Amino acid sequence: MDTLECIKTRRSIRKFTDEPIPRKDLEELINIARWSPSYKNSQPWEAIILSGEKKKNLSKVLVGLLESGEESKPDLAAPVSWPEAEAGRIKYLLAKRKKLTGLDLNAPEMVFKAKKANFNFYFAPHAIYLFQDASLSEWSLFDIGLFAQSLMLAAHAKGLATVPQAFATDYAKQVKEFLGIPASKRLILGLSVGYPDMESPVNAYRTERAETGEIFRWME
């Protein structure tokens, strides 16, 4: 796949087929993403790929915590406010998604349902967690973001699908304990990985982007 096409056509997928991905293909995603740039080549990223019973059992733990009313405590706190432009884009997305799917993420019961779907990794055959040392600076958050983007683009180029999931880190302490990740690490992101089910209506909608003129100025 052409690089520019890969960047423009990648999308977040929330319905996958049951077909597992060969281990060598999953490991290749990490092998490619490790060439991402980083501050002074510090390479501040680590990853765990989950499959089979390990993934299913983690989902049971996370759903159990949600249903018991356990307070979520992600290592990276969720944003509490947005500037006007960004807030407008989020409002538009939520309204469009509600119109197309009936899912209103402003309603507490829908947020609960969305979290449950996240904790089941949308029933994808595989999941990936990205983490790094908690003592690292904000620059390292930028770097692991580059790693995540490289990983998702590599997956798309191979005909695979992903969706980045902040909710998957809601119970960071419990996830780290379950996966044997030291408490000194911070959990950054979870991702579902599999072959896309493009027949599913949930994958029919692709989010829009701001026009170039809204984010770009030419100066000379």
CB neighbourhood size of 151 (10 A): 25
pLDDT given for residue 205 in this prediction: 81
Q: Tell whether the model's pLDDT for residue 128 goes beyond 80.
A: yes
Beta bridge partners of 70: none
| Tens-place pLDDT, residues 14-52 | 999 999 999 999 999 999 999 999 999 999 999 999 999
Q: Tell whether the model's pLDDT for residue 154 goes beyond 80.
A: yes
126 three-class SS: strand
pLDDT given for residue 96 in this prediction: 84
Q: Tell whether the model's pLDDT for residue 202 goes beyond 90.
A: no
| Residue owning tokens 């159990």 | 64
CATH value at residue 160: 3.40.109.10
pLDDT given for residue 6 in this prediction: 97
8 to 4, 76, 129, 157, 207: CA distances (angstroms): 6, 28, 24, 11, 12
**DSSP character for 50?**
E
Q: Which residues contact 152 (CB under 8 A, 6 or more apart)?
A: 10, 162, 164, 191
Residue at 106 is within a domain: no
Q: Tell whether the model's pLDDT for residue 206 goes beyond 90.
A: no
Residue at 166 is within a domain: yes
Q: Are 174 and 19 in contact (CB under 8 A)?
A: no
Number of H helices, E strands in the chain: 8, 4
Q: Tell whether the model's pLDDT for residue 101 goes beyond 80.
A: no
Residue at 109 is within a domain: no
pTM for this prediction: 0.94
Residue at 154 is within a domain: yes
Residue 70 lies in domain: 15-77+119-205
Q: Tell whether the model's pLDDT for residue 188 goes beyond 90.
A: yes
Residue at 48 is within a domain: yes
pLDDT band at residue 102 using 50, 70 and 90 as cut-offs: confident
pLDDT band at residue 108 using 50, 70 and 90 as cut-offs: confident
Sheet holding 161-165, edge to edge: 46-51, 126-133, 185-194, 161-165
Domain count, the chain: 1
Residue at 7 is within a domain: no
Residue at 135 is within a domain: yes
Residue at 72 is within a domain: yes
Q: Tell whether the model's pLDDT for residue 153 goes beyond 80.
A: yes
